[in-house]
Structure 1
């Protein structure tokens, strides 16, 4: 039975500006989001602009510390940005990842989900253009059947190791901006959409090996206290999927991946949801939450920080990378 080291990380505004002189792309400034070829992406000269050099270095150091074979990332501007981050920042600690996947999603700021992988990606597709109507789902309040079901995307990808395939669904749900209660219905609709996509992919999802991972912008517990006012119910309420961290991390005070300084909440916004079959194969898998890039304002964390981390800034991100090593059987790879 092969094992795989997975990580998920919201990189927080991994965006850049570009010098297009050597890109070889007609009207490149207008068409940069259309680049979906890794070789073309490497030809674009770029510098990171939204956050400082210190922030981007800490972001890379945090991800490198996760030591993952496959990294699911959120808040990445485009494939060019992902490529530059990999080859110019992550490469200070790691050999660049040979497989990079990013398809444009729906976010108005242009932040997308993507993958870095040291393992072959045999298949991938975006679900960004699925609407409530095409999925046959009831829209949340103030939405119509013609609206997109995902605020960003649900990126589906098959990863191959030792001749076996593990399927990932990478997500970044609607933020809590505007209030957690007011935005809950949108995240609940996204949860239903992910579940339906999995049910369309697998005739019997409970017996297959798959992982839904990413930034879900919601938590169903705080320090072990279960909550009912979350939008993740369609994924977890009836055992459709199992939350890895609450399944594997015994100390409820050590499950947080995000600190909100406004009300000093330490919550798990970042999740890996395992299929029941995969959870059964991994009753207590090793889990890492990399907090070395967390700003000092997150005072609950008393461990060592990366060099240069400040009280608020610089920092790696407002999220922590979540990583785990999982055993899986999956499906045989057929070329």
Structure 2
């Protein structure tokens, strides 16, 4: 069986602008939205501003520290931004870029999307950003209709190939808790139901198929081992449809956190890697690593070594920590 080193990371507002003014082309800063613009900017040595140079350097360091072959990303502006980040920042620390990149424009009003970086071949990709409650047969939460899009960003479906075998990933970024966790939980629950429906449509027997759901789900069912209800992830974990890898692999509940909210000093597990029952059975001893070296110093629970340049609030790699695991999979045979 091949194995795959797989990570998920919310990069926190990975956005890019190109300062053509500083390159002498025009007296304006342009939002790069297509590859042609990016190529022009490269040719004239235009100045790329990916938020803070220090932040983006730390983001790349945290990502490279996972040693992942494939990384699901959240909060990326567009494919041009993802490409520039891979070429200009990741390659600086890894020695080479991932090379394979996937991103489809989603539904977020701020323009933050889910994406994928991979050093392995991507043989299939599909966005579910345009899936509606009606099309998926999901009851819409209050304030929405059957014609509204289910996913606040997207559910990105990708098949990765290694050693002639294919594994399917579903990359998500659920509705934030902005407006209150309890007031927004129904939206995340609907998204979880939709992910389950998408998987059930793809695989005739999901429990016996091999797939991974991963990303930032903006919700948790426990904080430091104490139940935290209500939560919106029941459709994924409530009846064993999927297995939360961190809950199984990290015995100490105080060590499962991937995000620190300074407002009430909560250390929560917002980021998850969910395995199909079949894949979980193939990996009974799979471990999970959470890279916290890019966390700001105000996340005081972490007392390990940090990357040079990390500050109390900023600079930092992100407000989330990347999570990584190595999984064995049998997968599906690639087409000849």
TM-score range, shorter chain: over 0.9
Corresponding residue of 1:260? 261
Normalised to the residue count of structure 2, the TM-score between the two structures is 0.93
Q: Does 1:104 align with 2:105?
A: yes
Cα distance change on mapping 1:248 and 1:140 into 2, 3 Å? same
User: d(CA) in 1 for partners of 2:298 and 2:268?
Assistant: 15
Equivalent in the alignment of 2:80: 80
CA offsets, 1:11-70, max 9 Å, x none?
000001125799xxxxxx68x54x4x7x98555446554631111100000000011000
Distance of aligned partners of 1:270 and 1:290 in 2 relative to their CA distance in 1, 3 Å threshold? same
Matched residue, 2:288: 287
Please give the secondary structure, in 2, of the residue aligned with 1:88.
Answer: helix
| Contact residue 4 and residue 327 of structure 1 kept, 8 A | yes
Instruction: State the TM-score, normalized to the length of structure 1.
Output: 0.93
Aligned to 2:54: 54
Question: Structure 1 unaligned runs (5+)?
Answer: 23-28
Distance 1:177 1:279, change over 3 A: same
2:329 corresponds to 1:334: no
Deviates more, 1:96-105 or 1:195-204: 96-105
Query: How many angstroms does 1:223 deviate by?
Result: 1.0
- Cα deviation for residue 139 of structure 1 reads 0.3
Structure 2: runs of 5+ lacking an equivalent: 24-29
Q: Which runs of 4+ in 1 moved over 3 A?
A: 19-22, 39-50
1:247 corresponding residue in structure 2: 248
Change (3 A) 1:41 1:134: farther
Partner of 2:65: 65
| Residues matched between the structures, number | 326
| Partner-residue secondary structure (3-state), 2:134 | helix
Name 2:181's counterpart in structure 1. 180
**2:226 match:** 225
Please report how far the alpha carbon of residue 106 of structure 1 lies from its aligned counterpart in structure 2 after TM superposition: 0.5
Alpha-carbon separation, structure 2, partners of 1:49 and 1:179:
33
Q: Per-residue deviation at 1:133?
A: 1.1
Rounded to whole Å, the distance in 2 between the matches of 1:132 and 1:49 is 38
CA contact (8 A) 1:16 1:47 kept: no
- Aligned-partner SS, 1:259: strand
- Label 1:150 to 1:311 Cα distance change in 2 as closer, same or farther (>3 A): same
Contact 2:19 2:48 in 1 (8 A): no
After TM superposition, the structure 1 stretch with the greater mean CA deviation from structure 2, 250-259 or 48-57, is 48-57
1:209 maps onto 2:224 in alignment: no
- Greater mean alpha carbon deviation, residues 222-231 or residues 186-195: 222-231
CA distance in structure 2 between the aligned counterparts of 1:316 and 1:186, rounded to whole angstroms = 28
Is contact 2:18–2:49 with CA below 8 Å preserved after alignment? no
Alignment correspondent of 1:25? none
1:163 correspondence with 2:155: no
**Cα displacement string for residues 275-324 of structure 1 (whole angstroms, at most 9, x for unaligned residues):** 00011111121211000000010111010000000111110000000000
Root-mean-square deviation over aligned CA pairs: 1.9
CA separation of 1:212 and 1:299: change in aligned 2, threshold 3 A? same
Distance 1:145 1:20, change over 3 A: farther
